[in-house]
A and B are shown apart, each in its own frame.
Chain A
Amino acid sequence: MIMFKSIANLVLALAGLAAPGLSQELPNSPGAIATPSLGEFRPPPPLALEIQSATSDRNATLLVIENHDLPLVSGRMIFEAGTLREPKDKPGLGELYAEALREGGCADFTGSELNTWLDAQAAQLSISMTEDHLRIEYSCLAEDLEATLERIGSLLREPSFAEQAVEVARMQTLTAISRANDDSAELAQMAMDRLLLGASSRFGQVATPSSIESIRAEDLRAFHGTNIGIDRLLMGITGDVKAEVAGRLSTAAVAELPVVGLASPTDTPSFWVPDNTTIYVVDRPGVPQTELLFGGPGLAITDKDHPALTLWTYVVGAGGMSNRMAQRVRTELGLAYGVGCGFGSGIVRPGQFYAYCGTRNDAVAEAISEMIDVITAPNFDLVPKPELEAARSRLLGSHVFRYDSATEQLDRAMTLRLYGMASDFWETNVARMGKVTPEEVSLAAAKMISPARFLCVAVGPADEIVPKLATVANVVLLDQVRQAADTPDDANALVESIFENLGGRKIWSDLDSFYLKHLVTAMGPLGPYGLPSEEWTTFAPLQFRSDQRASNGLVTKTAIQAYKGWSTSTFGLTELSANAINVRKSQLRRSLYQCLHRLAIRDTGLVATVDKAGELVLSENGNVLCSLAMDENGTPVAMTLHNGDAQETIKLLEWNRLGAYPFVALTEDSAAAQVRIVKFIANPELPEGHFHLAK
């Protein structure tokens, strides 16, 4: 330690500086301060070691960054085994599995003995689940690394999933489900996932008390056996350990793990947005503040528009206090403490658009209006260049902090490995952000945001906030966040009669995609004409393609995949707007086969009721999608599509059957145009890229 006080004057004299105080003028503004060049900082990449399996030729990889400053080591083991790979009928299994693995012990020690040992050695161990991965993180004194890895290895090789540990984990999960109702932000996010991503989709479904109760220890063992193998493992270690030692100890810990094979591909989310801006209210009585949350489709980090959207995020709603939304809603209006918006970054799948704010109950309408105004402004006006440059500085100026510790460097390198990204991805991405223009920012945001179709959740006392929110947009009160209301008996009876007449529930439950070939006949100016057309649709994710042949032989193709859409014409390939994509998706969700499938799988997001006319009415998130009229045998004979106040009825004139599946062979709409379906294939095999049109 230097006692600087005593030598300060000497140093000052040596440095040739004036005595301290005001005798030397200070710069009169920050701009007058000379900023030396920072120089390039590029930490060396981690060392990659192959960890040999003891039983096969499959290996795991270990990344090591040595750092001998302090006698500590921290590490990660990441398996390709996330919640997206849990059985679809057991939501919550992944998190229960992680907790039971951590607490359940193994053949060598009980969970209690492990905790006692960790306490004694001051070591830390956490096991958690993300959508894609099981993530084990540990930290220990360097001298305890071998013993720590030994114990983690034992847990992974022979986990007990002891009954008591499973029950404790189950009890904690059930309590957490109940407690979620005490947290406005958590309720809002849960409701948003359900609405935006679909209550029955992998991304929107949430654990319920009954789903947690149904999970048994053997389910956890099965999940472990299917997913935890050396061939699904990436490890990382940083700290006071030599790389070769880290490699040897890691090999000893995991070499005996089995080989389980490649992970199955996971879904891509399909986003739903309402036809008109709609606010879904979750009632939380007795609190003085309402939590507002907007949601919408976003982009993956690898998308070409992602850098522009990131800049938009920094202009409008993130990166400190000097963004538009914080300035307007918090600083100028005092409506919120925390407020912001932007586009989250997904890596292998699209992220989400979000905007959030907590405001007093009597100010909800003003806050929502102001937020929408701020969000939509850049869609119409170019971001002024100085403002964009300021946002770019906020974004890129802090980039160095993404590499300011060995742990950060390790995590970034592991992400590249996990997702098979180029080793220079982060640098390339920064370079792309450095070049984004104001035009690109505005265009990218306009493509993603439909100004009249915002999806918003409000969590607060319904009796206070609903009247105020109704002055701003459509308002729908959500009965329950986790589960839809029970289907009434009369609706259940109708649903059962439909399946009885259409080949049974099972075949519709198994239907996840279909192909149609049809001929539209209508009266044109020169008399009747027919247009042949082919269509492909998948339900989860919701994808669509049609190839329509014109009389001159040209084929017009339209396709939608996730949040993207394309159309070909004589002018070439054009990208569909977000609005056009959402309109088409909205139509697809009303389609007969999609509705039959959702009824068959008892999709909790689809609510069935019976109206006065005896028709089966299907609703989602409080909006009527369609209604079905049945003949006396229970066979659907007409379908009325609802779109807000607009309705259109389609007569289902003939049913036919090819193979196991009955299908509608002839329809007629209200304009008397008929469609003859000549071919229907259930669950067709589709080539890769079928829903992606490219030049």
Chain B
Amino acid sequence: MLPISSVTLALALSYTAAAPSGLPIQEPVGQGEAAPLTGVAKLQASVTEHTLDNGWTFLIVPREGAPVASFHTYIDVGGVFEDDGATGMAHMFEHMAFKGSARLGSLDWEEEELALDKLEKAYLRLRRMRKTGREGAIAKAKQTFLVAQKKAASLVDAEAFSKILEEAGGSSSLNASTSAEETRYVVSLPSNQIELWCWMERERFHEPVLREFYKERDAVMEERRMRVESSPFGKLIEELLAKAFTTHPYRRPVIGYEADLNNFSRTDAQAFYAKHYGVRRFTTAIVGDVDPITLVPLLERYFSDLAAGPEPTEVDVTEPKQDAERRVDVTFPAMPIVMAAWHVPSRSHPDSVALNLGLSILGQASASRLETSLVRGSGQAADAGADGGLPGDRYPNLAFVYGIPTEDTPIEELEAGIYQVMDTFTREGPTPAELAGAKNRARASLLRGLQDNEALAADLCEWQSKSGDWRNLFGQPSALAEVTANDIQRVFARYFTQQARTVATLVPAKPE
């Protein structure tokens, strides 16, 4: 039994979606020679790219097999685009994108529209009253709000949107996720439901109605309690990011701070939608039993009139260079954990390839340096690992290591052990076998991702969005093949310094 493993860590991060390791996995095996990837070229050749005039890009991959198709819509909108004081809004909107439209989800739209307006006015008044601190006025405003909420709820055809896709075969796959950088909406359906998907996706993004906003906000707060406030790793990561970043929006939790969640309004969410949900930021991959010849006209018919939206703005904030170690102790009723993180460049930086290969050898392989030294060797750790891309990798981000001590190991001792392993690795560099293995694993990782419709759709969207071209998923092996042991030593020495380090330690709460 593996006790904690990186699965726990992945779960702690999961509302930030499945962050890829960042390895440009198109690279070759062995000593710099590119081995042909049987089947990959054929798959690549089968991809059809079609961009509508409004900028929405579709990637279509027909595959033989079961009569099913996976749909993955990837939108370049995540937590980094939120305003201060409105953290969690990207994620909140993701939840609202399941609430339907004027004609989907309402028992009587004319009446409901009036009720929603009344409810929003009541909420905004309640928010104002809360700021005054006048208890009587707050109670009165709250009562008005609750009455308006009940009236609006009585006009809702609950879960009408989800119901249609679930009954069409999407009950086990309909989902969405939000990270610091993107929001994803996914479903897999039998292939005779393609036009239904078009209808529903248009309905979702054309003129969504943000009904049941405040009840859904309550559900999101429960999500926060589950993923952050009751979770050792969730809590630790939130504090680590807040400490490591002083300026960049990566410092904020994607799920949002409790105070912000308690404060923002439906009006705020509508403004967020208007500002960020132009379809020029959309990429959709459709993989499975589909035919581009018939599908493209359908996509044109359903989506070409949607608004491109305003020109996206990039996050124009540079995190100041960190010049001294930062530390944070997180007191929490759980057993100790240590995480250390360092600032590293974005995925587009030339050093990222060597960094990710090094992290794979340090903390991801079966015989990784951390596992071999601290788990199987000294027995100080029950689990230890390393990864990058925290909380995203579009901008300069964090690479991190973590360690979970065994029963009798002081946390300080494990932390020192981790640095010792890293120092040795940096000083000696990877062995030729370690380096070749890491490259080989990257190649196999590509292949494994191609096996599954949903995974392939997700990868295509991500590479299209983050690198500007989905072909980079399959791309040529030059960058990875050229990485040498010296490159890894160089980037480790450059980035993993004590002064650039932020350490978060989970300290068990003492019983009262």
Contacts and interface: CB of A to CB of B under 8 A. Distances in A.
Interface string B1-23: 11110000000000000000000
Interface in A14-63: 15, 17, 20-22, 24, 26-30, 33-39, 41, 43
B451 interface: yes
Contact size class for A? 35 or more
Given A112-B376, A116-B366, 18 more contacts: A20-B300, A38-B67, A41-B66, A96-B1, A112-B367, A119-B438, A122-B443, A175-B407, A182-B334, A284-B333, A322-B166, A326-B159, A334-B218, A338-B226, A359-B222, A360-B225, A393-B167, A397-B167
B139 interface: no
B50 interface: yes
Contacts of B39: 68-71
B21 to A, nearest CB: 13
A327 B162 CA distance: 11
Contact of B452 (A96, A174, A326, A405): A405
Nearest to A142: B38
A165 B376 CA distance: 8
B168 A358 contact: no
A56 B155 CA distance: 72
A208 to B, nearest CB: 14
Interface in A303-322: 319-322
Task: State which size class the interface on B falls in.
Answer: 35 or more
Contacts of B169: 397-398, 400-401
Nearest to B217: A334
A694 interface: no
Contact of A164 (B334, B376, B382): B376
A120 interface: yes
Interface stretch (A3-11, A465-473, A613-621): A3-11
Interface of A: 1-5, 8, 11-12, 15, 17, 20-22, 24, 26-30, 33-39, 41, 43, 68-72, 95-96, 98-99, 103, 111-112, 115-116, 118-123, 139, 141, 164-165, 167-169, 171-176, 178-179, 181-182, 184, 240, 284-289, 319-322, 326-327, 330-338, 358-360, 390, 393-395, 397-398, 400-401, 403-405
Interface of B: 1-4, 37-40, 43-52, 65-68, 98, 103, 153, 158-159, 162-164, 166-174, 188, 190-193, 195-196, 199-200, 202, 212, 214-223, 225-226, 229-230, 232, 292-294, 296-297, 300-302, 304-305, 332-335, 365-367, 372, 375-376, 379, 382-383, 404, 406-407, 433-434, 436-438, 440-441, 443-445, 447-448, 450-453, 471, 509, 511-512
B335 A8 contact: no
B156 to A, nearest CB: 9
What are the 10 tightest A-B residue pairs by CB atom distance, in nearest-first order?
A: A334-B218, A176-B3, A20-B300, A122-B444, A397-B169, A286-B333, A115-B367, A175-B382, A182-B334, A289-B225
Contacts of B192: 35-38
Among A175, A333, A338, find the residue whose CB has the most chain B CB atoms closer than 10 A.
Answer: A175
Contact of A330 (B219, B383, B407, B444): B219
Given A71-B38, A175-B404, A358-B225, A397 B447 contact: no
A116 B433 contact: yes
A116 B367 contact: yes
Contacts of A96: 1
Contacts of A397: 166-171, 190
A624 to B, nearest CB: 30
Given A168-B376, A400-B190, A287 B229 contact: yes
A119 B219 contact: no
A332 to B, nearest CB: 7
Given A21-B305, A168-B376, A72 B2 contact: no
A1 B49 contact: yes
Contacts of A319: 166, 171-172
Nearest to B332: A286
B219 A334 contact: yes
A481 to B, nearest CB: 16
A322 B159 contact: yes
Contact of A182 (B46, B191, B335, B447): B335
